[in-house]
Amino acid sequence: MLLSLAQSEDSFMAVQFGGGLLFGIICAIVAAGRGRSAVGWFFVGLILSCLGLILVLVLPDLKVQEERERRVSLENRRLREQLNKERQVSDQRQGHVDRRLGAHDEALGLDTSKPPELAHTATPAQLTDGDQWFYARDGERQGPVTMETMRHLLQAEAIDGDSLVWSQGMDDWVPLNSIKQFRGDVS
């Protein structure tokens, strides 16, 4: 009887080890396809069996995340280059305007380069740089728009939390959901 019990226990251990080995192999194959370490997930599958497989399937696909980050980086680069080109054109236009105004000032004998001193009075509220937002839609830069307009665009689903945005003072274009002023508006 003890011999029979030992044999059934040995066969149970062999079946359990075989199942763990099978789950280890399946976990390794799935993990490799999702950008994760095949060897590490083989041992997770070997030890945890079905739970290891569930874990590897539940965790985010690293290849998809890397591709998304690559696309955002490329879009950032393209938008940054577009913004730099537009700044260069704007600087050239401003230089042209300054030269023309300088010629007019010289002809009239005036100096309009310095604004006249005004009494300190309240002025109407104007857009500040922080209120001017640009956003990317269909690969093109849009804006400037106010923060309120950005919220309306979100509500109308013209943009979403993954839309790239930029405002004066920011180093780079970033997804809208990473801006604290809009976190309550992004679903």
Residue type, 62: L
- Is the domain of 139 the same as that of 164? yes
What is the reported pLDDT for 129?
44
Distance (Å, rounded) from C-alpha 26 to C-alpha 55? 12
Confidence of residue 74 (pLDDT cuts 50, 70, 90): very high
What is the tens place of the pLDDT at every residue in 77-97?
999 999 999 999 999 999 898
Is residue 182 a contact partner of residue 150, using CB atoms and an 8 Å limit? yes
pTM, 2 dp: 0.45
As a whole number, the mean pLDDT across the chain is 83
Q: What is the pLDDT of residue 4?
A: 66
Give the domain range for residue 33. Answer: 10-59
| 92 and 42 both lie in a single domain | no
Residue 25 domain-assigned? yes
Q: Are residues 105 and 167 in the same domain?
A: yes
State whether 53 and 74 are in the same domain.
Answer: no
Is residue 177 included in any domain, yes or no?
Answer: yes
* Shared-domain flag, residues 50 and 137: no
Cα–Cα dist 118/55, whole Å: 69
Total domains in the chain come to 2
b/e 47-76 (16+ beta carbons within 10 angstroms → b): ebbeebbeebeeeeeeeeeeeeeeebeeeb
Please state, in angstroms and rounded to a whole number, the distance separating the CA atoms of residues 69 and 162.
11
Residue 107's pLDDT is what? 80
